[in-house]
A and B are shown apart, each in its own frame.
Chain A
């Protein structure tokens, strides 16, 4: 009798483990920080790219229905590709304000970048050493985070914004 229970336990454990392995093959192995959605962003202070005395903080975001925080740099090729979507968003959707954070870049280059491609940002801040990106849980550029007026993250786009994500953002911020 005792041995039978043991046999059942052993078989169950093995079948269970093999099942988990099988399921494990199917899950997405690429890690991303989508789990951040629903969290509140931390306090920050973003200094304006041209004027060291001007800055915004998380309090300023409470005034907006939605804010899209976009990390970009002049040396980043995919940032160029996504730029038109940001311009569209800033033109079309009055509920969403766009903040640009210039990541590990030189001021001159960033300003030229915006001159060339257009400036969709209500405010451009600088993040010369990249530390502010960590506050937002970003790990590369381009990356965009959308928060509501409660400062809760409602969407995260890792990599350049494409047509699908652009449509999703429009829907989300109706």
Chain B
């Protein structure tokens, strides 16, 4: 029954979307400046029913209604309640439904909140957005319907991958989708702007908030994903330049560039066509990322079950999107005059865009090159972390200098004063860096530069905060917090990378391993039974030779029944100064256990810095709201 309700509702929303496009098209040509009331009503209905569809699926999961194929494939009666709900969007079809929801909700909200803007522009946005919605709805109905039914109804489900049963992973997709899919609205708005001729400052003001919202959620989504990978995947890392991770990073670079360029567009009425390009590119990148990840064309640690038929559909949709955007852009393109104040931060915003495009291109090239090479020459290569690190990291150094210096230009009257201040801060940064270098361990020349640049950015930001406390002028605070967060992030990642201790060895129960800094005693093993798994828990006593601190760590090997999976749960002790990380796995056909032990300095500060970056963005949204 749920199957029929669900599919019917999808059909209903499909019809509503057509109606909206139809009514909007007619209303565009009417002379009034007011959008017809019926269009608002249709959008409201569309939103309500779409959310209802989502709830229908959630109910299916909560009730373990196995008449729905999707629930059967991804759930199980013994799964904890919270994860039954989270299972709704933890699979391909359900997550697609979430996409549609966000597309529809943003469509309606954009219509509502833009009522001070040009009518034609708003209607075109609605039309384009609904074409996107239709595309996804057709995909849903024809290929990935979460409401497909099975008969006879199975008594039990196939369960959900236990790795996905984690609180961070439950919120990670929704956060990320608000970012990924949220950028659809300014894709549509950009097309609308081209079609209606409504551009410049007013256009910038119209999409500004939406860009910021998608940026904040994208940033948060990426961080939560990394936190999850660290705690769940058992290798102690948090970023692997894996295709799925890269797919989330591509739009992030574009949105960051866009966010900065909007400042210039709003202030100077320049860079309009570049802003349009960014708006169009961001959502195109989102869909490209989805294509690469869900079609099975790329090999990844965290793929959904892939299926080439999905690939064909998404590729067709992507092609249509790219060609229509490109054609409309080329038709409407006009040469711009550039109207910058060369002594201001605007030039540095250009620099930001320059670096963002570079980072974006690098990640994109790294992802796509193996595919191209394979298709054209049948040679298979891997492009992994070393490639991305070698190319990106050196350029983060000048990037951070520009981040620190850029926003200040134009505020300080004399050139000499700037020069003196900057030199003083660089000197301070160099001294601090040398301190670390001599007392804590040697590292490469590049790492020196990274530390110096990061500390420079941090010091600048701290000084800026001081100034704000002095002046009581809060407008710059969000920007400073985000920039400070970025500097801290790079610094802590650098320290973490340089000073981590990693050990990999085999032990039998009862044996002791001595390393330079620790004594690790594999005390015993016990079996633990839990709701949907059985675990072998190892008890390890760790003695820190430097300060004689003793800690107990209990990593687990978990055996899940539905589906039959083996997972390795790391034992992680988080402290302010470092994390202790221990995983244990059994060596086949032997009494030995393979132990991986890591001491990771400042791990929690990496998360805090990342959150700080997102916090700056959220602060901006809230502060601006209070102003209006």
Contacts and interface: CB of A to CB of B under 8 A. Distances in A.
A11 B330 CA distance: 11
Nearest to A10: B326
A22 B311 CA distance: 8
Contacts of A115: none
A21 B371 contact: yes
A1 B396 CA distance: 38
Contact of B375 (A14, A24, A31): A24
A5 interface: no
B375 A29 contact: no
Contacts of A27: 374-375
A27 B368 CA distance: 15
Contact of B297 (A10, A18, A29): A29
Interface in B265-294: 291
A134 interface: no
A108 interface: no
B315 A18 contact: yes
Interface string A1-30: 000000100110010011011111111010
Contacts of A75: 589
B376 A20 contact: yes
| Listed residue (A25, A27, A75) with the most chain B CB atoms within 10 angstroms of its CB | A25
Contacts of B315: 18, 21-22, 25
A24 B374 contact: yes
B319 interface: yes
A65 interface: no
B322 A21 contact: no
B308 interface: yes
Contacts of B326: 10-11, 14
A104 interface: yes
Contact of A29 (B296, B312, B322, B376): B296
Interface string B183-216: 0000000000000000000000000000000000
Contacts of A17: 368
Interface residues of A, number: 18
Nearest to A26: B308
B125 interface: no
Contacts of A25: 295-297, 308, 311-312, 315
Contact of B319 (A18, A26, A29, A104): A18
B372 interface: yes
B621 to A, nearest CB: 35
Contacts of B295: 25
Contact of A7 (B291, B319, B330): B330
Interface in B25-59: none
Contacts of A10: 326
Given A20-B376, A21-B315, A75-B589, A14 B322 contact: yes
B310 to A, nearest CB: 10
Contacts of A20: 371-372, 375-376
A134 B277 CA distance: 50
A21 B589 contact: no
B467 interface: no
| Listed residue (B308, B368, B375, B588) with the most chain A CB atoms within 10 angstroms of its CB | B375
A9 to B, nearest CB: 12
A10 B295 CA distance: 25
B380 A31 contact: yes
Contacts of B368: 17
A17 B372 CA distance: 8
Nearest to B373: A20
Nearest to A31: B380
Interface string A94-123: 000000000010000000000000000000
Interface in A30-52: 31
A10 B327 CA distance: 11
Nearest to B310: A25
Contacts of B372: 20
A168 to B, nearest CB: 21
10 contacts: A7-B330, A20-B371, A20-B372, A24-B297, A25-B297, A25-B308, A25-B315, A26-B308, A104-B588, A104-B589
Given A24-B374, A25-B297, A104-B589, 9 more contacts: A18-B315, A18-B318, A18-B322, A20-B376, A21-B315, A24-B297, A25-B308, A25-B315, A31-B299
Interface of A: 7, 10-11, 14, 17-18, 20-27, 29, 31, 75, 104
